Structure formats: structure tokens, C-alpha cells
Structure 1
Amino acid sequence: MNAKELHDKTPDQLREELVNLKKASFNLRFQQASGQLENTAGIKAARRDAARVKTILNQKAAAAAADAE
């Protein structure tokens, strides 16, 4: 997922995406702890995607606050 795709989504869609990414991250960590994880790079990718979504949510919130003034 790239930032360009995320910019096109609404804040509600981004929040939903963030919840899904956090669930995926939890599942990957659980798999790692139980020794079932095969692709260790997935943990890093999920964390970075979640951070990317949070960044865009904050940018949209700042833009909305600036427009309200």
C-alpha cells in the first residue's frame, strides 16, 4: 500500500484500515511467538503501513483544522 492510495481514502476508511493493520500485526507477532511465522518481513511491513496510515490521518486532521480557522 502506498501513500497515494491512502490520500484518496476518507478518514473513516483510514481508521478502519488502521484497525485491520493492527489486527494483522498482532496475528503476525502471535505467529512469531509460537514459531509458525515464515515471512518475518511481514511484521516490519505491517508496522510501517500502520505508521503511514497514522501519518496521513494526522495530515488530514491538521488540514481540516486549518480550514476551520
Structure 2
Amino acid sequence: MKIVELKQLSKKELKETLQKKRTSLRSFYFNISKGKVKNMKEAREIKKDIARILTLENQGTKRS
């Protein structure tokens, strides 16, 4: 997801998206251990999305 898309979400939607991304990262690592994953770059993208969401959450708390 791009940062512009994330900025349009509410705090509740951001938390839900963060939870989904963390779950998908967990399942991705599980699939790696089973040998089902062919594209290893996908983990990097999921981690970047998580970092973007956390950055937006932290910026919101500093402003308040």
C-alpha cells in the first residue's frame, strides 16, 4: 500500500490493516518453512507496509 492510501484511512481501519499485515507476514514465514514460497521479496513489502502504518500511527500521537 502507498502512504497516500494509508493516510485516507481512519485510526480504526489502520489498526485493522496492521493486524492483517502482521497475520499475513506470520503466515508467509510459515509457508517459507514448508517450502511453498517462491517470491521472497513479498516479505520485504509486507514489512514496509507495517512500518508505514506504524509511522502514521506514531505521527498521529505526536501531533495530539
The question of a shared fold, defined as TM-score above 0.5 by the shorter chain, is answered with yes
TM-fit CA distance, 1:60: 1.4
TM-fit CA distance, 1:51: 0.6
SS at match of 2:42: helix
CA RMSD of aligned residues (A): 0.8
TM-fit CA distance, 1:62: 1.5
C-alpha separation in 2, matches of 1:39 and 1:23: 18
Corresponding residue for residue 22 of structure 1: 22
Larger Rg: 1
TM-fit CA distance, 1:20: 0.2
TM-score, with structure 1 as normaliser: 0.87
- Unmatched runs of 5 consecutive residues or more in structure 2: none
C-alpha separation in 1, matches of 2:35 and 2:44: 17
TM-fit CA distance, 1:39: 1.1
- Unmatched runs of 5 consecutive residues or more in structure 1: none
Corresponding residue for residue 10 of structure 2: 10
C-alpha separation in 1, matches of 2:20 and 2:4: 19
C-alpha separation in 1, matches of 2:2 and 2:37: 24
Q: Percent identity?
A: 23
